[in-house]
Amino acid sequence: MATNGKAENGVTEEIPALPFPQPAKIQDIHHTKLFINNEWHISSKGRTFPTVNPATGVKICDIQEADKADVDKAVEAAKAAGERSAPWRKMDVSSRGRLLHKLADLIERDRVFLAAGFPPGVVNILPGFGPLAGAALASHMDVDKVAFTGSTAVGQLIKETAARSNLKRVTLELGGKNPCIVFADSDLRLAVEETQKGAFYNQGQCCTAASRVFVEESVYEEFVRLSVASAKSLVTGDPLDPRTSHGPQIDRKQFDKIMQLIESGKKEGALLECGGRAVDDTGLFIQPTVFSGVKDHMRIAKEEIFGPVQCIFSFKCLPEVIDRANSTKYGLVAAVFTKDMDRALSVSSALEAGTVWVNCYNALHAQTPFGGYKMSGNGRELGEYALAEYTEVKAITIKLSNNL
């Protein structure tokens, strides 16, 4: 995944590399309670739920389970924090910025644990918001916003509930069935590398997963061959080991859903090129899976899998592939691979997605707005657009005396 501070993001100055992380072990668990209003609380009904290490199947600890009363308490605390008399509202912009940077430093300090299983640099996104937040907060001070990330089904429920709740605004960043279009003139090895980063990043458990790859007919077979070789080279193992490039799924329910969709792909006639099986009986590992010969009507072509499954389609002409890429209820991200920049720009404009990457994938920046079309959500995260989502603009008009 491309991240802030790398040359491909337009940064040319030399930035010292972080020390390569060493294999980490899960530390002693100190906090398992609900964190509300800067304090740790037992849930109102005293219920807990287990957290299991998906790599081993071993329970890590029991966590307090919030109930409606706990959520209400947290909401009241959040409202109180936004009152005019609250410390945050009285704080000047520079002080707010310093707190954001302090939070970023703490996240960077514990990045090995917070980003277990993610590529290095995944926590770079927060420091980039410092200057943006300072500038925006200087002119927009009132905040009245709720944001959620989740599935489209959950997002629909949230939106319906919000509509019955005094016109509460919500930002929804939801699902995706994201198309990549690979033209014959592209750098094929680059296209394979980037689309597989998109397909297998975080074991496919990502709203931006590159789950539909459309490849021009003349290079289709070569693209499939290179994709299979690349998928087989991934290293499966403990996500806390830096040598690992492919970890476990998040839980048994998701594991079972992915395996069911893989079986549906085989039954509906897609060709399983590699993977498609569980790795062992202890953890929730699924082999990186590549399907070729995928057709638009298949379940794996239409449903968000949220697992390590790459679906490769073929196409003949430009109008056809644009129609097929847009033929989905989702519209989060897309990608185009070609050396023809005129074509790249025209195709990017035609694709119904909130973000389009050209000759790259998952190139996210704190300064660039991110969000979806259609059922992939409402509003934008990141960039100044995101800060505007969380603020209210106020116009104050003063009539001046005409005594001059």
Q: Any idea which residues carry the catalytic annotation? A: 173
Q: Answer for the pair 147, 131: CB distance below 8 angstroms, yes or no.
A: no
| Encoded tokens for 402 | 């005409």
- Pick the closest to residue 191 from 353, 358, 306 (CA basis): 358
Instruction: List, as one string, the DSSP characters of 73-135.
Output: HHHHHHHHHTSTTSHHHHS-HHHHHHHHHHHHHHHHHTHHHHTTTSPTTGGGGTTTHHHHHHH
Q: Which residues contact 367 (CB under 8 A, 6 or more apart)?
A: 128, 132, 382, 383
Helices (H), 233-375: 252-267, 299-302, 318-326, 341-350
Q: What is d(CA 147, CA 386) in angstroms, rounded to the nearest whole number?
A: 10
Q: Answer for the pair 213, 200: CB distance below 8 angstroms, yes or no.
A: no
| Encoded tokens for 47 | 């219920």
Beta bridge partners of 62: 50
Q: What is d(CA 283, CA 92) in angstroms, rounded to the nearest whole number?
A: 49
| Encoded tokens for 151 | 């599935």
